A = this chain, B = another copy of it.
């Protein structure tokens, strides 16, 4: 049998101990060892201690492949995500899901998806990995075809920031709408009356929610929706630039612009500079997400922070709990999280109109 580079055949350690050796060392049957390893209840304390000692002594680690084969589950989850240039949301989601998986002894397999979803690719992923469950991130969490496929394959899943909670499903959701409203109120309180709005990518349900919050705030202040102040962006820097140009070219240009994420907000900032507008004196700008760029631009961006990592962690734990056959309390099936307003200099000052 050929082996590759870094060959360590000669100085390799002894092969890992198996359950049989542990059983022999502890003077019990392998089933009992299995019981101890899997924390089943019906084992006497004396036996458990003996077994645990043997496990310790031999450095025993159950073989995941054997476990999977015999148990007909893989002890691993998958996470499906779209990977835009701005990786903030996805990265936070990953952090949370990974933390949960590690804590619960699950492995995590990642599946990046393209803008236009490749269903066959996902199906292949399911076949190759045999994951026990999946975490769906936005906007994939709202894709009916993906959910149908998972259901067909018998793979339970949870949704991170979906458009709507599915009865009997698992989801974590940040309240974008109130946050967006508060952010808009902030601008209104500074005296702004013509506030431009740059929509996010239409596939993301949060785009609509952020718009709704913006409109609601305007309404509460007796302002009517002005379609000319609303531009369709795609959550990307360049689209933020394009929208900003359109909005700022109006003869009655807005005194403030609310971009649906920080990337686009930084695009607005770029265009403001091109046009010689001072921020925030001539133009207030706010973003959303509190991504890394929000602290790096000048002036730094007023924005909204979502607890994505915590949301992902929590929902993943619920998923695993459910995979283990434990009931998940109703309040843990549909979780809601508040967002936090982060005030920085880009919105700062009352408009000089």
Q: Which residues of A contact B (CB under 8 A)?
A: 1-9, 11-13, 16, 61, 63-69, 74, 83, 85-87, 91, 95, 98, 105, 107-110, 112, 127-130, 150-157, 168-170, 237, 266, 269-270, 273, 292-293, 295-298, 319, 321-326, 328, 333
Task: Determine which of B4, B105, B151 lies in contact with A8 in the assembled complex, contact meaning CB atoms within 8 Å.
Answer: B151
Sample (27) of A-B pairs whose CB atoms are under 8 Å apart = A4-B319, A4-B322, A4-B323, A4-B325, A4-B326, A4-B328, A5-B168, A5-B328, A6-B151, A6-B170, A6-B322, A8-B152, A9-B154, A12-B152, A12-B154, A64-B68, A64-B74, A64-B130, A65-B65, A65-B69, A85-B292, A87-B91, A108-B109, A266-B296, A270-B298, A273-B298, A298-B298
**B61 touching A128 by the CB < 8 A rule?**
yes
Residue from A11, A129, A293 whose CB has the most chain B CB atoms within 10 Å: A293
Q: Which residues of B contact A65 (CB under 8 A)?
A: 64-69, 74, 130
CA distance A41 to B44 in the complex (A): 54
Q: Which residues of B contact A296 (CB under 8 A)?
A: 237, 266, 270, 293, 296-297
CA distance A296 to B112 in the complex (A): 25
Supposing A169-B5, A170-B5 touch, asked if A128 and B156 sit within 8 A by C-beta, the answer is no
Q: Which residues of B contact A74 (CB under 8 A)?
A: 64-65
CA distance A292 to B69 in the complex (A): 44
CA distance A74 to B85 in the complex (A): 31
**B295 touching A297 by the CB < 8 A rule?**
no
Q: Which residues of B contact A322 (CB under 8 A)?
A: 4-6
**B112 touching A109 by the CB < 8 A rule?**
no
CA distance A52 to B156 in the complex (A): 31
| Closest CB in chain B relative to A16 CB, distance in Å | 7
| Closest CB in chain B relative to A38 CB, distance in Å | 15
| Closest CB in chain B relative to A190 CB, distance in Å | 23
CA distance A352 to B236 in the complex (A): 36
Q: Which residues of B contact A266 (CB under 8 A)?
A: 296
Task: Determine which of B2, B85, B128, B270 lies in contact with A107 in the assembled complex, contact meaning CB atoms within 8 Å.
Answer: B128
Q: Which residues of B contact A109 (CB under 8 A)?
A: 107-109
